[in-house]
Amino acid sequence: MTEFASGSLTGKNLHLSFGHNHVLRGIDLHVEKGTTASVIGPSGSGKSTLLRVMNRLIEPDQGDILLDGRSVLKDNPDELRQRIGMVFQQFNLFPHKTVAENVTLALRKLRKLPKDQARAEALEQLDLVGLKHKADVRPANLSGGQQQRVAIARALAMKPEVMFFDEATSALDPELVKGVLALMTDLAKGGMTMVVVTHEMGFSRNVSDTVTFMDAGVVVESGPPEQIFTAPATDRLKGFLSDVL
Amino acid sequence: MDLLDQLADTFFNWEEMAKVIPSLLSVGLPNTLILAVASGILGSLLGLLLAMMGISRNAGARWVARIYTDIFRGLPAILVILVIGIGLSPIAREITGSRNPYPLGILALTLIAAAYIGEIFRSGIQSVEKGQLEASRALGFSYGSSMRLVVVPQGIRRVLPALVNQFISLLKDSSLVFMLGLAASDREIFRIGNDAMANTGNLSPLVAAGVLYLILTVPLTHFVNFIDNRLRTGRPEKKEPDDAAAPIGKGAQA
């Protein structure tokens, strides 16, 4: 894999409420440059919301976000999001555009690359995820696993400093999960800074450098995977692990 | 002459039809098309604006769009055409210096069409999954760019059949401008048929006008079905012209 322009990412004391629903209650999360942090926890614990707050798709009510040690809350949020790639559970490819156009859209309109150069970079990214030969078909003609790999290529093409994965394999048929996880593993090994919200405990345990367990809007436990998975300290984490493992 | 012959003569008097067909084609057809196409294009633009206002985060804009739509969708087309065509004609004469009722007819048809087309666009845009906007914004596009590049094009695509239906309806409603009083050269299809009927006392010219409307609208109806199918099954793979033209460059890249 190629070199990544990775940076570190820190969320400090992040709070968010939707009306009376206090979704995030003071979350701290730190990801060292070039490492992978996985976030696990039951549904509704605020994991996906945390990602959306950290790239300011949703503005936090309180707290700070630091990219490479510098607060980004005052930056233009659109520019911040160019620096953070995001991959979604439902892929969210643009169905009215071809696979290559999905990748070139942001390259052309945001990075202002000329058409041929954007296409060349897109093909390079698609090659990386093994789908260069599908460049000119529409996403609807691809399997779920292929669509998710295109979504990863689309995010990587912007040369992000951090990548977010929001349950990237949860919507996939079981036989397609492996390919996407292998690609994510390659990225992690290649030195990409990643925050991975996942239900794949194997990935969390074997690939990530730190694991954060969230429940009801708070970080209950966090640490290296062997500690979290073999020596959980709290009853909540013990209960969660016995449910999912 | 028995009853059947009499009916045939009333509706299908070939002689009367033949007499009216040249002016139907040379005067009526272009005028109807001018009215329908101009108000179709303007109505779509205004409709798109209304749709964007209707889903805007600004409550004032939403209100304006709502009230506009309620009014122009709730009134009979003929009433709007008369009120605008007659009420604004002194102003129009001042500005354009002509008594031609077409600008006002087009305006009235545009205002009506925009109310319907705005609702069509709005429903289409709102039917686009939330994840599309989210994915676009996550790439770094602003709200406006995301709407323009990702959400609105998909929304419009989904409602193309409904949009063509609206154009069909507009084509037919364009006949109502006859109420504004048209000079001989300004008459559209219906008025020409109607005048010929009044002069001859025979319905055949109107039947001929009706056939001409059908020649215009029936293909459009089938066009709706065609795009409906196309949208459902996807289009056959399309090559960009420059890709097709430069197979060598493509091969060299691979």
pLDDT-derived band of residue B228, with 50, 70 and 90 as boundaries?
confident
Higher confidence at residue B230 or residue B158?
B158
The pairing of beta strand A21-31 with beta strand A9-18: antiparallel
What mean pLDDT comes out for the span A179-191? Answer: 94
DSSP letters, chain A, are: --------EEEEEEEEEETTEEEEEEEEEEE-TT-EEEEE--TTSSHHHHHHHHTTSS--SEEEEEETTEE-TTS-HHHHHHTEEEE-TT----TTS-HHHHHHHHHHHTS---HHHHHHHHHHHHHHTT-GGGTTS-GGGS-HHHHHHHHHHHHHTT--SEEEEESTTTTS-HHHHHHHHHHHHHHHHTT-EEEEE-S-HHHHHHT-SEEEEEETTEEEEEE-HHHHHHS--SHHHHHHHHHH-
- Say yes or no to pLDDT of B254 above 90: no
pLDDT-derived band of residue B184, with 50, 70 and 90 as boundaries?
confident
What mean pLDDT comes out for the span B24-45? Answer: 95
What's the mean pLDDT when you consider all of chain A?
Answer: 94
pLDDT-derived band of residue A222, with 50, 70 and 90 as boundaries?
very high
Do B40 and B167 contact (CB within 8 A), yes or no? yes
Does A123 sit within 8 Å of B135, measured CB to CB?
Answer: no
Question: Which of A110, A138, A140 shows the shortest C-beta gap to B140?
Answer: A110
Do B179 and B40 contact (CB within 8 A), yes or no? no
Do B209 and B11 contact (CB within 8 A), yes or no? no
User: In what order do the strands lie in the sheet containing A218-223?
Assistant: A84-87, A162-166, A193-197, A36-40, A210-215, A218-223
Cα separation, A177 vs A203, in Å, equals: 11
Residue A151: which residues within 8 A CB-CB, separation 6 or more? A87, A88, A91, A92, A93, B135
**Closest by CA position to B93, among listed B162, A1, A110, B85:** B85
Any idea which of A199-213, B187-201, B222-236 has the lowest mean pLDDT?
B222-236
**% of chain A with per-residue pLDDT over 70:** 99
A23 phi, psi to nearest 5 deg: -80, -45
Per-residue model confidence as pLDDT tens digits over A29-53: 999 999 999 999 999 999 999 999 9
Count of residues for chain A? 245
Question: Which of B129, B142, B154 shows the shortest C-beta gap to A78?
Answer: B142
pLDDT-derived band of residue A242, with 50, 70 and 90 as boundaries?
very high
Does B135 sit within 8 Å of A93, measured CB to CB?
Answer: yes
DSSP state of B55: T
The fourth-level CATH superfamily of domain B3-233 is MetI-like (1.10.3720.10)
CA geometry: angle A155, A158, A160, nearest 5 deg: 80
CA geometry: angle A186, A187, A190, nearest 5 deg: 85
- What is residue B236's predicted lDDT score, i.e. its pLDDT? 55
Q: Work out whether the CA dihedral A195, A199, A201, A202 comes out positive or negative.
A: negative
Mutual angle of helices B89-96 and B102-126, in 10-degree steps:
110
Cα separation, A47 vs A30, in Å, equals: 14
Q: Hey, what are A185's tokens?
A: 């593993």
Q: Which residues of chain B are within 8 Å of residue A120 when distances are taken between CB atoms?
A: 253
Cα separation, A212 vs A230, in Å, equals: 14
Q: Hey, what are A142's tokens?
A: 């691809």
Number of C-beta neighbours around residue B205 at 10 A: 25
Cα distances (Å, whole numbers) of residue B58 to B62, B65, B118? 6, 11, 17
pLDDT-derived band of residue B232, with 50, 70 and 90 as boundaries?
low
Mutual angle of helices B29-54 and B160-173, in 10-degree steps:
130
Do A61 and A49 contact (CB within 8 A), yes or no? no
**Closest by CA position to A100, among listed A137, A146, A129:** A137
- Say yes or no to pLDDT of B168 above 60: yes
Q: Determine the distance in angstroms separating the CA of B220 from the nearest CA of chain A, rounded to an integer.
A: 24
Q: Which residues of chain B are within 8 Å of residue A154 when distances are taken between CB atoms?
A: 139
DSSP letters, B205-220, are: HHHHHHHHHHHHHHHH
Do B195 and B187 contact (CB within 8 A), yes or no? yes
What mean pLDDT comes out for the span A23-33? Answer: 95
Per-residue model confidence as pLDDT tens digits over B188-222: 999 999 999 999 889 999 999 999 999 999 999 88
What mean pLDDT comes out for the span B35-42? Answer: 96
**Could you tell me which chain B residue has the CA closest to the CA of A160?**
B139
- Residue to substitute from B125, B128, B137, B139, interface A, most A β-carbons within 10 A: B139
**Could you tell me which chain A residue has the CA closest to the CA of B239?**
A136
Does B140 sit within 8 Å of A105, measured CB to CB?
Answer: no
Q: Hey, what are B107's tokens?
A: 């305006």
Q: Which residues pair with A100 in a beta bridge?
A: none
Do A221 and A232 contact (CB within 8 A), yes or no? yes
Q: Which residues of chain B are within 8 Å of residue A55 when distances are taken between CB atoms?
A: 138
- What is residue B230's predicted lDDT score, i.e. its pLDDT? 76
Domain ranges of chain B: 3-233
